[in-house]
């Protein structure tokens, strides 16, 4: 209820005026005098109009406040949805955001009918789910906004591109956030293709079965013409750095003691929209071209991103 204290005072004054009216009517007709009663009712009417104005003002402010909150939550949802599209892990947050959107829609409906109390309750519930979605995305966002990590990725990519130039060879750079595979020849990019990654592809691979796509400097060790995914290029995961990271993660308790390091990471066909167990997937026509182009020994470097100003940071700054 709006202005409960003011309404209580108004109701008390009205009851008092009514009691005065009843008392005056109970007098003998010759002794009745309604001037004081009229004065009381005038004061009650005056306070009633003031209260009505105050309530109208509060309703207007409440309506505007809720409207601003709805716009704010919608912007948060839209920004988060944009972030979730940049990683396969975003599927979890997207499911949570569906609930947040439904509650926001209900809040809009309540707001439009003037039921501001119910609208506020729906907005509060929607905020809870938005917070859960943000918590789900936070580890990925933090990782891809880490300047130290970005510099490491950038260094790996630069070294591989420099090798392409110095040796006049073709190399492959995979960018996870952009979901692209870029072919460099003599240090110059000449082909860019869209790719699919592991279900948890935004994370660096630590062990078998984590569905993550590894990051690091690799090379093609085998060409498989009849893969279950059309054609495939096997890379040398795990390399020495992967093995060191695996041992370190076990010692820190980040992975189970019984975990295996895994392997068989490929660049293969099956479609760029595929969600893999950790491999890099491409359209069949694309892998046909690359398969014929690159020999065994071709460097393959997989990074999260190479610039701070990337698709993810743009989505965050636009929120």
Tell me the mean pLDDT in the region 193-204.
Answer: 89
More confident residue, 302 or 53: 302
- Rounded CA-CA distance 223/235 in Å is 9
Tell me the mean pLDDT in the region 86-100.
Answer: 87
Residue 65's pLDDT band (boundaries 50, 70, 90)?
Answer: confident
Tell me the mean pLDDT in the region 166-185.
Answer: 94
Q: Can you give the pLDDT at residue 87?
A: 80
Residue-wise pLDDT tens digits, 107-121: 999 988 888 889 989
Q: Can you give the pLDDT at residue 116?
A: 84
Q: What is the DSSP letter of 184?
A: E
Q: Can you give the pLDDT at residue 145?
A: 83
Give the side-chain half-sphere CA count within 13 A for 19. 6
Q: Which helix (H) or strand (E) holds 33?
A: none
- Of all residues in the chain, what percent carry a pLDDT higher than 70? 81
CA-atom Rg of the chain in angstroms: 33
pLDDT greater than 90 at residue 292 = yes
Q: Can you give the pLDDT at residue 241?
A: 92
CATH 2.40.440.10 residue ranges of the chain are 147-317
- Rounded CA-CA distance 65/47 in Å is 26
- Rounded CA-CA distance 130/225 in Å is 46
- Rounded CA-CA distance 201/216 in Å is 13
CA nearest 136: which of 99, 204, 89, 98?
89
Structure tokens at 29: 């007709």
pLDDT greater than 60 at residue 5 = yes
What's the CATH architecture for 147-317? Beta Barrel (2.40)
Tell me the mean pLDDT in the region 86-104.
Answer: 88
pTM of the model: 0.74
């Amino acid at each position: 209820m709006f202005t409960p204290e003011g309404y209580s005072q108004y109701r008390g004054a009205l009851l008092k005026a009514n009691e005065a009216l009843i008392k005056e009517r109970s007098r003998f007709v010759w002794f009745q005098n309604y001037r004081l009663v009229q004065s009381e009712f005038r004061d009650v009417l005056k306070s009633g109009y003031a209260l009505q104005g105050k309530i109208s003002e509060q309703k207007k402010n409440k309506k505007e406040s809720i409207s601003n909150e709805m716009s704010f939550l919608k912007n948060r949802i839209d920004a988060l949805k944009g972030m979730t599209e940049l990683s396969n892990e975003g599927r979890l947050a997207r499911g949570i955001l569906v609930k947040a959107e439904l509650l926001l829609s209900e809040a809009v409906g309540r707001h439009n009918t003037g039921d501001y109390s119910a609208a506020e309750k729906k907005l509060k519930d929607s905020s809870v789910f938005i917070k859960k979605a943000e918590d789900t995305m936070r580890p990925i966002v933090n990782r891809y906004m880490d300047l130290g990590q970005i510099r490491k990725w950038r260094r790996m990519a630069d070294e591989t591109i420099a090798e392409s130039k110095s040796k006049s060879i073709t190399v492959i750079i995979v960018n996870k956030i952009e979901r692209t595979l870029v072919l460099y020849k003599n240090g110059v990019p000449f082909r860019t293709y869209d790719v699919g990654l592991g279900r948890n592809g935004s994370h660096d691979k630590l062990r078998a079965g984590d569905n993550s796509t590894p990051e690091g400097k690799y090379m093609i060790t085998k060409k498989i013409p009849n893969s279950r995914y059309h054609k495939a290029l096997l890379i040398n995961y795990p390399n020495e750095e992967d093995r060191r990271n695996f041992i370190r993660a076990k010692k820190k308790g980040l992975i189970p003691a019984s975990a295996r390091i895994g392997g068989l990471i490929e660049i293969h066909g099956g479609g760029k929209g595929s969600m893999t167990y950790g491999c890099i997937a491409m359209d069949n026509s694309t892998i046909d071209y690359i398969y014929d182009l690159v020999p065994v020994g071709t460097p393959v470097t997989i990074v999260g991103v190479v610039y701070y100003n990337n698709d993810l940071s743009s989505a965050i700054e636009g929120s």
